[in-house]
Amino acid sequence: MYVLKLALQKLSTRPVSSAFSVLLFAIGCSIISLIILAEKNLTRSVERNFSEIDLVIGAKGSPLQLILSSVLHADYPTGNISLYEAENIARNPLVKKSIPLALGDNYRGFRIVGAPIEYAAMYNATLDEGAWYEHTLEAVVGANVARATGLQMGDRFYGVHGFQDAGHAHPEFLYTVTGIMKQGAGVMDNLILTPVSSVWKVHEGHHHDDHDHGDHDHDDQDHDSAGHHDHDHDHENCDHDHHDHDHNHSHSHYHAHEGTHDHHPEQPVDPAIAAIKEMIEAGEDISLEEMQLYTAYLQQSQVASHDDKREITAMLLQFRSPAGLIQLTRLVNESTNMQAAAPALEINRLMSLLSVGFDLLLILAWVIIVFSGINIFIHLWNTLRGELQDIALMRVLGASRAKVFLLLVAQGVAIALAGWMSGMVLSRVIWLLLPSFHFMTETGAGTIYTQEIMLLLYALAAGFLASVIPAWTAYNADVHFNLTKK
Amino acid sequence: MSLLSVHSLNYRYPSGKSLAFPDFSCNPGSNLLIHGMSGCGKTTLLHLLSGILTPSHGEVRMGDVLMSAMASAEKDRFRGQHIGMIFQKHFFIEGISVLENLKAARRFAGNDDDHAYLHKLLDDLAIGHLSGKKAAQLSEGEQQRFSIARALANRPSWVLADEPTSGLDDVNCASFTALMRLAVEEKPVSWIVASHDNRLKDHFNHVYHL
């Protein structure tokens, strides 16, 4: 349509002023778009990564940190816990599935996570090639890891201590890639999975004299490796066999427990314990005292040795019934030196914290958009005042009132549309440039969300409102007067 | 397009002052000079003839079309297609080239770009080499020619010109009257020129005194 083309030509005759109007609009739109991207990706990430995990047990510290570190793999772990103690909890009859995680090292920024393969199964991760690990120091890498690092089947690599690329290396323990996962398994895409025993092996021989997890400094990356607390360890004194590690596969790696309580040999049972067990199996609520009593009974009855000094970073739990969540959270937090945190709860807390920030940013963004609208108005109004004779001429040349109205509105709407499009591009560039967003990037940056389409409608409305007064003035401009005024 | 005729035309200004015009008519193909002093209503009459102003009463007829009774948008379209206008001041759409201005004239009238015709028109008026320039960059004489080109862009039946020679020296004035006779594709164009310029009197077969 000719009027639209002329509107664009008109805008391009004032490139600086038009570009400024577009830029201002783009800033407002991109902030809103970034908020939408963050919320969408976070929600999807939560849905994808949290649905199977009811409770996480880890070292005391910030519960949110525990969830971020052991579920989203986005923060540093709170410390280590004793495998023995964690297993005591996992052995509770309310627990359906328990998965131990051992963290500590990374390869080129990607976390090496010691976990049974049930962990990957929880995310429906499937292999693109190769096979799941069977032995210590075998590893399966996520799709993003394979792409970013170029790791291929059969490749060997060694981990670096901590969660950043640079640090103390463990070159004497070479991992072998046995499989590569398919893209789209949530957080698995960015992980390197290995048996828990690998992490123990890499860190074995390190001192275990510090079991105080009270000091959880985020910046101290050295407190967080499973089975290892002492930064100043001396590798020369370690009793490692540097040459036979690939022949000497350990078959003692850890498997997830499923319904472990079913396998326990029946012992002479205290009637009180039997009553509690019946209540639990019936899904009834039991008191904390009863729970403690029952746990103590389980601890006595188990075979695991109290001398087991092995440690893990966290234990992920899935319950048979919702009752488990409340009871075990209370049990762990009140009667052990570990903490239990529910991912759903913590993420809700995080989201509500974030939403305050999001809301403030949203207000700021809308203020910018309102000012962009006012700016468009001023731009068009100033232009129109000098061009009323132009408008009169167009009328003489055959343009109807409606067409000159449209000419002005088209300019306002075009600025808004260009602003929105630039805003969308800007937000995606920022999204891709800021690596801190990557842990929750679930969809490609190319997706335009429904809210962004809504934003487009608001933007167009703002462009229209900004131009409607100049357009109405042009509509009503007196042709005769404007052609004859000196 | 046939006869232009005016019947008991009257216009009341917003100030309340009222102006009555005697009846007259103009045959197709003939040129009419509306002669009178400044302020006697020449511009008002041209604007009434072109439908820019609506008469308080009376009628303006172009052939069998009663222009004064048309709706606003219809009148705009009719003017765009059949009437070319030249003003005392040289108006143009800012920011676009001479050729784009001529195209705008055609588009607003509801016609397509007719590049061949527009280029020929500019060449005939000896400003073909300026087609890519902004109208504001043209000299006074070039702007005059550009205004004529735009008035002829839609092959109109009528060209209404308001004091077209008031700012011109004798040479350019003579050049204007010569251009008036420029036959555009053998289609007869009737010129109605409102002016107080006595130099024009000899070039018109009809003079109408206000």
Nearest to residue A57, comparing CAs of A306, A350, A343? A343
Interface check A16 vs B, CB under 8 A: no
Q: Give chain A's count of helices (H) and strands (E).
A: 15, 14
Instruction: Determine, for residues A396 and B52 on separate chains, whether the beta-carbon distance falls below 8 Å.
Output: yes
- Residue given tokens 């468009």 in the structure block: A376
Q: Residues B56, B42: contact at Cβ < 8 Å? A: no
Nearest to residue B43, comparing CAs of B199, B204, B192? B192
Q: Distance of alpha carbon A423 from its chain centroid, rounded?
A: 23
**Residue of chain B with shortest Cα separation from A484:** B43
- Residue given tokens 């540093």 in the structure block: A76
Q: At CA B120, angle to CA B116 and CA B122, rounded to 5?
A: 120
| Residue B80, burial from CB neighbour count under 10 angstroms (0-12, 13-18, 19+) | buried
Q: What one-letter code names the amino acid at A340? A: A
Which residues of B sit within 8 Å Cβ distance of A? 43-44, 47, 50, 52-53, 72-73, 76-77, 79-81, 85, 87, 89, 91-96, 100, 104-105, 107-110, 150, 154
CA A143 – CA A181 distance, rounded (Å): 5
Residue A307, both tokens: 């001398």
* Nearest CB partner across the interface for A396, out of B73, B79, B100: B79
The Cβ-side half-sphere exposure at A304, using a 13 Å CA radius, reads 18
Query: pTM for the complete prediction?
Result: 0.68
Distance from CA of B137 to the nearest CA of A (A): 15
Instruction: Determine, for residues B95 and A403 on separate chains, whether the beta-carbon distance falls below 8 Å.
Output: no
**Residue of chain A with shortest Cα separation from B153:** A397
Q: What is the pLDDT of residue A218?
A: 41
Element (DSSP H or E) covering residue A484 = helix A479-484
Q: How confident is the model at residue B204 (pLDDT cuts 50, 70, 90)?
A: confident
CA A199 – CA A134 distance, rounded (Å): 14
Q: Are strands A156-157 and A175-181 parallel, antiparallel or unpaired?
A: antiparallel
Nearest to residue B36, comparing CAs of B196, B202, B199? B196
Q: Residues A84, A315: contact at Cβ < 8 Å? A: no
pLDDT at B167 over 90: no
Q: Name which of A14, A16, A397 to mutate to probe chain B: the one with the most chain B Cβ atoms within 10 A of its Cβ.
A: A397
Q: Residues A175, A157: contact at Cβ < 8 Å? A: yes
Instruction: Determine, for residues A390 and B94 on separate chains, whether the beta-carbon distance falls below 8 Å.
Output: yes
Q: What is the pLDDT of residue B186?
A: 64
Residue A282, both tokens: 């019936």
Q: What is the pLDDT of residue A474?
A: 92
Q: At CA A221, angle to CA A219 and CA A227, rounded to 5?
A: 145
Residue B140, both tokens: 């006074």
Instruction: Determine, for residues A396 and B109 on separate chains, whether the beta-carbon distance falls below 8 Å.
Output: no
Instruction: Determine, for residues B77 and A6 on separate chains, whether the beta-carbon distance falls below 8 Å.
Output: no
CA A330 – CA A323 distance, rounded (Å): 11
Interface check A137 vs B, CB under 8 A: no
Q: Residues A416, A459: contact at Cβ < 8 Å? A: yes
Nearest to residue A282, comparing CAs of A6, A36, A94? A94
A398: left (phi over 0), alpha (psi -120 to 50) or beta: left
* Nearest CB partner across the interface for A2, out of B81, B87, B107: B107
Residue A131, both tokens: 């096979």
Q: Between these two residues, A187 and B146, which has the higher pLDDT value?
A: B146
pLDDT, one tens digit per residue, over B57-85 is 899 988 888 888 888 888 888 999 999 99
CA A25 – CA A333 distance, rounded (Å): 50
Distance from CA of A456 to the nearest CA of B (A): 29
CA B37 → CA A317, B34, B41, B43, B205, distances in Å?
Answer: 101, 10, 9, 11, 20
CA A385 – CA A183 distance, rounded (Å): 58
Q: What is the pLDDT of residue B45?
A: 92
User: What is the edge-to-edge ordering of all strands in the sheet holding B32-35?
Assistant: B83-86, B158-162, B190-195, B32-35, B206-209
Q: Name which of A6, A385, A396 to mutate to probe chain B: the one with the most chain B Cβ atoms within 10 A of its Cβ.
A: A396
Compute how many other C-beta atoms are within 10 angstroms of the C-beta atom of residue A462: 26
- Residue given tokens 């019947």 in the structure block: B7
Instruction: Determine, for residues B110 and A398 on separate chains, whether the beta-carbon distance falls below 8 Å.
Output: yes
Distance from CA of A8 to the nearest CA of B (A): 11
- Residue given tokens 């053998």 in the structure block: B186
* Nearest CB partner across the interface for B91, out of A6, A393, A401: A393
By residue count, chain A amounts to 486
Residue A290, both tokens: 């009863």
Q: Residues A65, A216: contact at Cβ < 8 Å? A: yes
- Residue given tokens 């002829």 in the structure block: B152
Q: What is the pLDDT of residue B203?
A: 84
ipTM, two decimals, is: 0.91
Q: Residues A221, A127: contact at Cβ < 8 Å? A: no
Its sign, for the CA torsion A157, A158, A159, A161, is negative
Interface check A480 vs B, CB under 8 A: yes
Q: What is the pLDDT of residue A114?
A: 93
Residues in chain A with CB shorter than 8 Å from the CB of B77 are: 398, 400
Q: Residues B161, B128: contact at Cβ < 8 Å? A: no
Q: What is the pLDDT of residue A268?
A: 55
CA A423 – CA A438 distance, rounded (Å): 20
Residues A461/A462/A465/A471 CA torsion (nearest 10 deg): -90
- The residues that bridge with A55 in the sheet, in sequence order, are A317
Q: What is the pLDDT along chain A (486 residues), one digit of tens a residue?
A: 888 999 999 899 889 999 999 999 999 999 988 888 888 877 777 777 777 889 999 999 999 899 888 888 888 888 899 988 888 888 888 888 999 999 988 998 899 999 998 898 888 888 989 999 998 899 999 988 998 899 999 999 998 888 777 778 888 889 999 999 998 777 888 899 999 998 888 887 654 444 333 344 444 444 444 444 444 444 444 444 444 444 444 444 455 555 444 444 445 567 777 777 777 777 677 777 777 777 777 666 554 455 677 889 999 999 888 888 888 888 888 888 899 999 888 888 888 888 888 888 889 888 988 998 899 999 889 888 888 888 999 999 999 999 999 999 999 999 999 999 999 999 988 888 775 555 555 555 567 888 889 999 999 999 999 999 999 999 999 998 898 886
Q: What one-letter code names the amino acid at B109? A: A
Q: What is the pLDDT of residue A224?
A: 43
Residue A73, both tokens: 């793999």
Element (DSSP H or E) covering residue A469 = helix A450-476
* Nearest CB partner across the interface for B87, out of A387, A395, A483: A483
pLDDT at B3 over 60: yes
CA A148 – CA B167 distance, rounded (Å): 75
DSSP secondary structure letters along A369-385 = HHHHHHHHHHHHHHHHH
CA A13 – CA A393 distance, rounded (Å): 18
* Nearest CB partner across the interface for B104, out of A6, A392, A479: A6
Q: Residues A126, A188: contact at Cβ < 8 Å? A: no
Q: What is the pLDDT of residue B2?
A: 61
* Segment B146-165 mean pLDDT: 91
Contacts (Cβ under 8 Å, ≥6 apart) of A176: A137, A138, A139, A154, A155, A156, A246
Interface check A401 vs B, CB under 8 A: yes
